[in-house]
Structure 1
Amino acid sequence: MTTSLHPAPSAVTSINPTTWNAAFGYDQGQLRAAPARLLTVAGQGPVDESGVLLHAGDVSAQLSLSLANVETVLAAAGMDLSDVLRLVVYTTDVDATLAAYGALIERLQQFSATPPTTLLGVQRLALPGMAVEIDATAGR
């Protein structure tokens, strides 16, 4: 278990009673001081600036673009992936998403981010052909 009883005021204390989650690039929990600003990001899918679905049939590309769209919302609020407190990934194909998950982990690692993350298999998403959607909570 990785924990510190007295972290620095702005520090994040990773809470991991086990270690299997490290391979997936996230912490089971994180303890931090309450943020001064909290951003809730609606589900972001693999769409362009006009809301047109891109990469139908390519789960890996959809995962990457969905995360990039999350980053766009974060940037508009003066934040980045290091400010993400929690991610939820919705997918219509869990196996394909897990196969492509390395791209998500790699992008998060560029910001030393390991937010608690949930992967949910769903029957359908907002647009026909959409296989991935990501929502986030961020704070600073």
Structure 2
Amino acid sequence: MEKNKQPKLINPAELFDPGPYGFSHSIAVESPSTMCFISGQSGGVGENHVLADDFKTQVQDALKNLHIVLQSHSMTFENIVKITLLIVDHNQEKLEIWAEEARNVWKSSFLPTSTLIPVSQLALPGMLFEIDAIAVKQLAN
């Protein structure tokens, strides 16, 4: 990797400070394209990471947080090429909620690759959903 092309950490001010927890919200790597590796975004809102009680709201809030990170890299959902979903106590109803919300943000036929991992719990009490992503943007020649 060229000296001036080192990975760039971006932690949007609108999201909580992840430093004390040992991770960054995202890292971009520039080459012929910019690759952005985005940490798991949950349904937590604000500095205190307040979580809604219901799965659908947490999915919507997580997607809003993911959108904030994407915007900080001048990217959109269309730049995402890979997502990983973590769902607590996964079932068909939760899958249908996720599918509906995914259709709301990915309006084109270009859908990212995806892995869904059912889990018994996540990092914080009450956390029901988490999504991480890899996004790519071609650089202008």
TM-score by length of structure 2 reads 0.68
Q: CA deviation at 1:83?
A: 0.1
The answer for the alignment partner of 2:67 in structure 1 is: 71
On the 8 A contact 1:84/1:113 being kept in 2, the answer is no
CA distance in 1, matches of 2:101, 2:76: 14
2:83 to 82, 87, 110: 87
Over the matched positions of the two proteins, sequence identity in percent amounts to 27
Structure 1 stretches lacking a partner, 5+ long = 1-33
**Alignment length (residue pairs):** 106
TM-score by length of structure 1 reads 0.69
Higher strand share: 2
The answer for the alignment partner of 1:4 in structure 2 is: none
Q: CA deviation at 1:112?
A: 4.3
On the 8 A contact 2:36/2:134 being kept in 1, the answer is yes
Root-mean-square deviation (CA, aligned residues, Å) is 1.8
Residues 136 and 44 of structure 1, relative CA distance in 2, 3 Å threshold: same
1:52 is the counterpart of 2:49: yes
On the 8 A contact 2:78/2:106 being kept in 1, the answer is no
Q: CA deviation at 1:99?
A: 2.9
CA distance in 2, matches of 1:39, 1:55: 28
